[in-house]
Amino acid sequence: MAQEIRQSDFSRTKDFSPPVPFSRSIAILAIIASLICGTLVFFVPPYFIFGPIILLLLVAVILKYPVLGIYFYMLISYLRPQDLFGFLVILRPHISLLALTVISLIIHRKLENRAHLTLMPNDKMFLALLMAAVMSNLTSIWVSYSIETTIELLKTSVFYFAAIALLDNRERLVRYVTLYICSIAVVSLIQIYTYLTVGMTRITGSGGYGIIVGGMTILGGRGPMKGGNDAANGVGGYSNYFFANASELGLGLCLAIPLCYYLFKGARNRLLKALFFVIIVMFLVSIIFSGSRGAFVALVATIIFLLYREKKLLIGLVVMAILSAPILYAVSDQYVDRIKSIGEYDSDESVGIRFRLWSAAIDMVADHPLFGVGTGNFPVAYGSTYRAKGSANLYWSPHNVFIQIVTELGLVGITIYLLFIAAIFWINMKSRRLLRNIDDARSVYYMSHGVDIALVAYIVAGQFITATYYPHLFQLSIWASAIYLIARQYSNNVIETAEEVRV
């Protein structure tokens, strides 16, 4: 029974620290190295000295505490410092951190003689999705694109299982999700600043551009904005990855809001509650400044589902109706017009483009029904073979996660993808049953609700954006698995306590 619920993973009161041999020799070498570095400062640029020192310290810390590697990896993924500081690209921080974390994790698990990781149904569906991606290479239209996307998914799988293995108690999980929320808050803050300073008179739907002073980008990887127009659509994030444009940032914000709300609800410290409340308000402002219609629809769905889960749906809708008038008065006329255009789909150019893309998707599935046109191949397939004659829209993405899956991974892929999403809901439901009456685990209990609502936001926003291979869904699955394993440990402790009392 103990092995089944990975009791060894949870019964530790502190991190295992393997003994370090030759500690006196290491101390002497450290002193000698410090003297050498202090002397070299007078002869070479400081970053040639302090860079390797910081790197060595990072290696030492992660080797002792592998969970820090997961924290750093997540922060690099979402804050994208390599987009802010170009020289970091050479170091390839993602691969370096992930490799170091996995090595440290393997060493610790061997030294601790810990059991193998237990796979939840959603983890098995993730592996099945990965296999479908590999198989799609066999029917790929452009093999190099498929291989590149599949390799990225393989990297994600390494992080996926390392994170589940390391987020093995309540403190680590809450700390990780808090860092996740704070990293998105940084992106949100820069986006708000960008909009208020240079975004008010720019069409910036293609992405935000960070903090700009005197024409120079201080924070942001995309350079100064060009061109002027009074009909600003909104501002995205500052990086070139999954927060690049306004719609992508809006999706990330919609996922973060329910998680932040339940961190707020589960926090016992008043300062933390105040921090999470401020961040929620900031996220709502960011969604408005993004100008994303898909994010607006997802936000409405998120709020309604959250109110339903909190059993405050009726009163919540009444409050929303009362607040809608002052909110609409406060936001810009351009934003109101953009939201109103949701109902004018027959005259909206972007909607017409989507319909053409989705029509082409039917032909792709008919020609490649089993494994699709290959991962990452929809734009190539559409531009080279399936676009309408005379269409100026060339290598476009499908702007829908489910259409991307069914066209690129075929009917096999979409079946697995839907089962993957269903498994996350199912495992969260099981977690809540285990945690329902355990007061010490209320933050974990609340987090399972947050993951469910964030998943609803992903499903709704995913109808308007191409975000299939972004880490959002995989993060939600990681948290669902970690929550369930922690819930089983809490449940087991309750059972053991009850048996001791009975004896």
Residue 216's DSSP bridge partners are 213
| pLDDT reported for residue 336 | 62
Residue type, 404: Q
Instruction: Return the top range by mean pLDDT from 27-36, 288-297, 451-460.
Output: 451-460
| pLDDT reported for residue 351 | 73
Q: What is the pLDDT of residues 25-84, one digit of tens each?
A: 656 666 676 666 666 556 666 555 666 667 777 788 888 889 999 999 998 888 877 766
| pLDDT reported for residue 199 | 53
In percent, the amount of the chain with pLDDT more than 90 equals: 35
Q: What is the pLDDT of residues 394-444, one digit of tens each?
A: 778 888 999 999 999 999 999 999 999 999 999 999 999 998 878 777 889
- Average of per-residue pLDDT across 270-289: 91
- Mean per-residue pLDDT over the chain, rounded: 78
pTM of structure: 0.82
| pLDDT reported for residue 275 | 94
| pLDDT reported for residue 183 | 92
Do 141 and 385 meet the contact criterion of CB atoms below 8 Å apart? yes
Q: What is the pLDDT of residues 302-314, one digit of tens each?
A: 999 999 888 887 8
- Average of per-residue pLDDT across 13-36: 57
Instruction: Return the top range by mean pLDDT from 1-15, 25-39, 261-275.
Output: 261-275
Considering only residues 25 and 4, tell me which one the structure prediction assigns the higher pLDDT: 25
Q: What is the pLDDT of residues 175-187, one digit of tens each?
A: 999 999 999 998 8
Give the dihedral of Cα atoms 203, 208, 209, 215; nearest 10 deg: 30
Any idea where the domains of the chain sit in the sequence? 28-112, 121-354+390-502
Residue 21 has pLDDT above 50, yes or no: no
Q: How far is CA 390 from CA 282, 348, 377, 394, in A?
A: 44, 19, 21, 10
Q: What is the pLDDT of residues 186-215, one digit of tens each?
A: 888 888 877 777 654 444 433 344 444 334
- Average of per-residue pLDDT across 367-391: 85
- Helix (H), strand (E), coil (C) string for 11-37: CCCCCCCCCCCCHHHHHHHHHHHHHHH
Sign of CA dihedral 295, 297, 300, 304: negative
Closest CA to 253 of 269, 266, 237, 239: 237
Q: What is the pLDDT of residues 478-490, one digit of tens each?
A: 999 999 999 988 8
Q: Read off the tokens for 11.
A: 């019964």
